[in-house]
Chain A
Amino acid sequence: MSERLLTVKNLQIEGFADDAWKPIVNGIDLHLDRGEVLGLIGESGAGKSTIGIATMGYTRPGCRIVGGSIDFDGVPILTQTAEQIREVRGVKISYVAQSAAASFNPAHKLIEQYTETPVQHGVLKYQQAAQNARMIYARLELPDPDKIGNRYPHQVSGGQLQRAMVAMAMSCEPDMIIFDEPTTALDVTTQIEVLAAIKDVVKQFNTAAIYITHDLAVVVQLADRIMVLRYGDLVEESDTRSMLESPKEEYTRKLLAVRTFAKNPEPETKEEHSLIEVSDLHAAYGGGIKVLDDINLSIERCRTVAVVGESGSGKSTLARAMTGLLPPMQGSIKYQGEELPRSFKNRTKDQLRQIQMIYQMPDVALNPRQKLRETIGRPLGFYFQMDGAEREQRVKELLEMIELPTNYIDRYTPELSGGQKQRVCIARALAAKPVVIICDEVTSALDQLVAEEILKLLDRLQKELNMTYLFITHDLATVKAIADEIVVMLKGRIVEHGPKEEVLVPPHHEYTELLLSSVPEMHPDWLDDVLASRSAVSA
C-alpha cells in the first residue's frame, strides 16, 4: 500500500472577469500517492492549470481560492502562513511551466537559476548544487552538460530550455512536480525528447507528479491515473488503461475519438493545366536568410494539398509567397496556366479574389471593431458591388453556410468563441467566391473538439462548392484527416511529396519517418516502444 502524499478536498476557485467573481473550479476532490503520476486533462477553461498551481498554495493574479482544503504530506497548504508555504515550494513541490522561454529570468544564467532553489533553502551548498545540475543536465541529454549552465536562457533552443526547466524543478529532489502543459509549445520531434526526459526523471527519483495537458495522447504516456475536467467540474476519473479501454462518459469518448475523422479522398482529375503550378521558387526575408529553396509543386483542382513541417520549415512562407505577400526572389507561380505577378500589389482584383486565405489566430484575423455584417459583407461589396438588402441577404446565407445563427450579423467579433471566430473567417473567405483557399494552421489555436468541427465544415464546403485547399499545418493528425496529397517540408525544401496513401505508408523518407513516429498515439506504451525502436536503430 503506497503512502498518500496529497489530498485535495472540495477545492473551489473563483476568477475575476467582467467586474465580477465567477467560479473557475467547482469543488474538486483529488488525491495523489507517492511516486504516482496523475494526468489532468481538459480543454481550455477546464480549470486544470488553476487546480495544479493551487496545490502549491498559489493562484494567478485575479483568482482566489474560496473553499476546500489541501493537505500535502501532513501540511495544510491553505491555512499556512506565507512563510510556511515558502518552505514547501521549490523543496517539496516544484513547478514546470508551459513556456520555459518566458519562465526563465532572461538576466541570469541557467546554472544560477538552477542552484538558487537549493542554496536559498539551505538544502545544498552552491558547489554541490552546481555539480548536481551538471549531472542532471547530462541525464536529460542536454548537449555539453558541463558548460550549458553558463548560458543565458535565450541562447538555448526551445526543447533544451524546457528540459533545463525540468532539471531545475528536480534541483531539491521534490516529492511532487506540477507539469503544466510542458510540451504544448514544442514541435512533435522535440516534444518526444522532453516527454522522454520527464518520464525518465519521474521514474528515477520516484517523484509524484501532476501532469496537466489538453492532449490525451500525451498524458497516457506518463500518467498512472487520469482525471478528465470540463468547466471546472470533474467528468471522469480512472486509471489510464481502463479509461482508454472503457470510457464511461460521453465527453471522454469524444476526446478519445478526436483525430479519427478522415475525409473521403477526392478522385484525382487530370486537366490540361494544374490549377496552381509552382516552379523553382526561392524566397528570403529581408535579412537575406533563405527560407524557401527550390520549391516545385502543383495543385490540382478540387484537391486538398497539405503542406506539413515543423517550425522553421518554411511552410508558412510558402503560403505568403503564393499570396504575393512575400514576393519570391526567383521562380514562378502559375495560376490556371497564367503566371501570377510576384507581389499581390500587381495582381488584378479578380486574381486576388480567387485565392483567399484563412489564418491560424482568428482573434487577430478579424477586426474587433467590426460587426459580422461588415466583416463578411465587405468582400461582397468590394468584389461584387453588392449593397443594401441584397448584401444583407447574402451575408445571412453565408452565416447559415458556416452553421452560425443569422442574428449573429449584429455581433462584434470579440463576442464570439474561438471556433465561431474561425467560422467567420471561413465565411469571409467564401464571400469572395474563391477557387483556392490557403489555410494556414487554421486549427492549431483551437481546442481539439472544436478543431475537428472546423475540419468537417471545411470538408463539407469543399464538396459543395468545389474548392481547392492548400493546407499548411504542423499537425500530422490534421493532415491525415483532410489531405488528398501531402507535401513534407524541412528547412525550406520539399523532402517528400505525393498522394496521402503513398506518403503515409512505408517506406518513408527519413524525415517523414521521424515526423510520423513522433506523433503521440492513444495507447500507453507508445512512448516506450518508439524510444526502444529508436535506440535499437541507433545501436
Chain B
Amino acid sequence: MRRFWNSFKRAGLPAHIGIVIILIYLIAAVFAPWLAPYGESEVVDPVPWASPSESGTLLGLDQLGRDLYTRVLYGARNTIALALGITCLAFFMGMVAGFFAATVGRWVDHLLSRCVDIIMAFPTLFFALIALSIFGTSIPVMVFVIATLDATRVYRISRALAMDINVMEYVEVARLRGEGLWWIMRREILPNTLTPLLAEFGLRFCFVFLFISSLSFLGIGIQPPAADWGAMVRENGVAITYGIFTPLVPAAAIAVLTIAVNLVVDWFLRKTAGLREEY
C-alpha cells in the first residue's frame, strides 16, 4: 500500500489532476441532495433558459425553467451510481466466465467465446437499441443490457489475462498438487490479474457511463424528469445554435469526468503493462 502511494506521488501532474477531479465528482454525487439549492425537478421560474443573472442562480435555468446547477448535481448522482453498479455487475459476470473459460479450456472455452463473439458482432449501440425497443425502456432492462454488452469485453480481457497466468508454472504446480478449480481461480489467477483488471475497470466505467449518457441523449436511457447529463444535452442541444450555452454545462461535466478517469487509467497502464491491445 505504501509502495502504491509512493508511486502515486511520482505519477505526474495529469494523474494527480485526474484523481482530484474524480474525488470532486464523487463528493458531488454522494452529497447532491445537500449541495443542491432546489429539488431535482423543481421549476424555479418558468422562463426557459434564463441566464444566471436573470434567475439569480449559479448556472441559469434549463428549457423548463429548472435550476441547471441542481440538475447537474443530481445528474452526477444518477448517472455515476448507475454506471458503477452496471460496471460491477459486468465485471462479476465477465471475470467469472473469463477465468472459467481460461482455466477449464476446451469446449467450455469454445462455447463461451463463440457466444461472446456473436454478441460482439452487434455494434454496441445497435444491440442496446434493439433490446430496449423490444423489452421497453426501464432501469432494470438498461442495467441488464449494458452489463451484458460490457461483460463480453470484460470476458475477453480477463480470459486473455488468465490465459497468460494459466500457463505459468506456479499454476501447474497448484494443479499437480491437486487443488480445485475455484482455488486456482481465486488464489493463483485473480491476484496476478488484478492490476490490469483494475485499469480495465476504469476504462469500462467510462464506457458504461458514456453509454448511459448516449442512450439518454438519444431519448431511451434514464427517463425524465430524473436528471441525466446525456438527456440534458439532448433537451438543451438545439439552444447552442442560438448562442445559449446551457447544453455546454452537462456536456462539459461528462467530458471532464471521462478525461479524469482516463488520465488516471493511463498512468496506471503505463505503470503496469503498457497499453494493451484490444482483446
Contacts and interface: CB of A to CB of B under 8 A. Distances in A.
Nearest to A352: B178
B179 A382 contact: yes
A353 to B, nearest CB: 8
A369 B192 contact: yes
A344 interface: yes
Candidate in B10, B177, B179, B187 with the most chain A CB atoms within 10 angstroms: B177
Interface string B173-188: 1011111000000011
Contact of A367 (B10, B175, B192): B192
A378 B180 CA distance: 13
B2 to A, nearest CB: 14
B192 A19 contact: no
Contacts of A361: 169
Contacts of A368: 192
A359 B168 CA distance: 11
A359 B173 CA distance: 9
B203 to A, nearest CB: 23
A323 B178 CA distance: 12
A14 B251 CA distance: 49
Given A19-B10, A365-B170, A366-B170, A352 B177 contact: yes
Given A361-B169, A365-B169, A323 B176 contact: yes
Interface in A374-433: 378-379, 382-383, 428, 432
A357 interface: yes
A364 B170 contact: yes
A449 interface: no
Contacts of B176: 323-325, 344, 352, 356-357
Contacts of B187: 367
Interface string B150-182: 000000000000000000111011011111000
Candidate in B172, B176, B191, B192 with the most chain A CB atoms within 10 angstroms: B176
A382 B191 contact: no
Interface in A303-349: 323-325, 344, 347, 349
Given A367-B188, A367-B192, A368-B192, A379 B168 contact: no
Contacts of A428: 173
Contact of B177 (A325, A364, A382): A382
Candidate in A356, A378, A432 with the most chain B CB atoms within 10 angstroms: A378
B164 to A, nearest CB: 11
A428 B173 CA distance: 10
Contacts of B169: 359, 361, 364-365
A508 B212 CA distance: 75
Given A19-B10, A325-B172, A359-B169, A367 B178 contact: no
Given A367-B188, A368-B192, A369-B191, A379 B170 contact: no
A247 to B, nearest CB: 38
Contacts of A352: 176-178
A363 B207 CA distance: 36
Interface residues of B, number: 15
Contacts of B173: 357, 359, 365, 428
Nearest to B6: A19
Nearest to B165: A367
Nearest to B169: A365
Nearest to A374: B187
A382 B177 CA distance: 8
Contacts of B192: 367-369
A361 B176 CA distance: 17
Nearest to A348: B178
Nearest to B179: A382
B250 to A, nearest CB: 41
B271 to A, nearest CB: 11
A53 B267 CA distance: 32
Interface string A215-237: 00000000000000000000000
Given A367-B192, A368-B192, A369-B192, A382 B178 contact: yes
Contacts of A365: 168-170, 173
Nearest to A369: B191
B176 to A, nearest CB: 6
Nearest to A382: B177
Candidate in A359, A361, A369, A378 with the most chain B CB atoms within 10 angstroms: A369
B82 to A, nearest CB: 33
A324 B175 CA distance: 11
A356 B192 CA distance: 24
B1 to A, nearest CB: 14
A365 B177 CA distance: 13
A407 to B, nearest CB: 19
Interface in B184-204: 187-188, 191-192
B36 to A, nearest CB: 44
B178 to A, nearest CB: 5
A361 B191 CA distance: 20
Contacts of A383: 177
Contact of B170 (A19, A344, A367): A367
A139 to B, nearest CB: 42
Interface string A428-463: 100010000000000000000000000000000000
A92 to B, nearest CB: 36
Contacts of B177: 352-353, 378-379, 382-383, 432
Contacts of A325: 172, 175-176
26 contacts: A324-B176, A325-B175, A344-B175, A344-B176, A347-B178, A349-B178, A353-B178, A356-B176, A357-B173, A357-B176, A359-B169, A361-B169, A364-B168, A364-B169, A365-B169, A365-B170, A366-B170, A367-B192, A368-B192, A369-B192, A370-B191, A378-B177, A379-B177, A382-B177, A428-B173, A432-B177
Interface of A: 19, 323-325, 344, 347, 349, 352-353, 356-357, 359, 361, 364-370, 378-379, 382-383, 428, 432
Interface of B: 10, 168-170, 172-173, 175-179, 187-188, 191-192
Given A352-B177, A353-B177, A369-B192, 16 more contacts: A323-B176, A325-B175, A344-B175, A344-B176, A347-B178, A352-B178, A361-B169, A364-B169, A364-B170, A365-B168, A366-B170, A367-B168, A367-B187, A367-B191, A382-B178, A382-B179
What 10 pairs between A and B have smallest CB-CB spacing? Answer: A369-B191, A365-B169, A367-B170, A359-B169, A352-B178, A364-B168, A364-B169, A349-B178, A365-B170, A366-B170
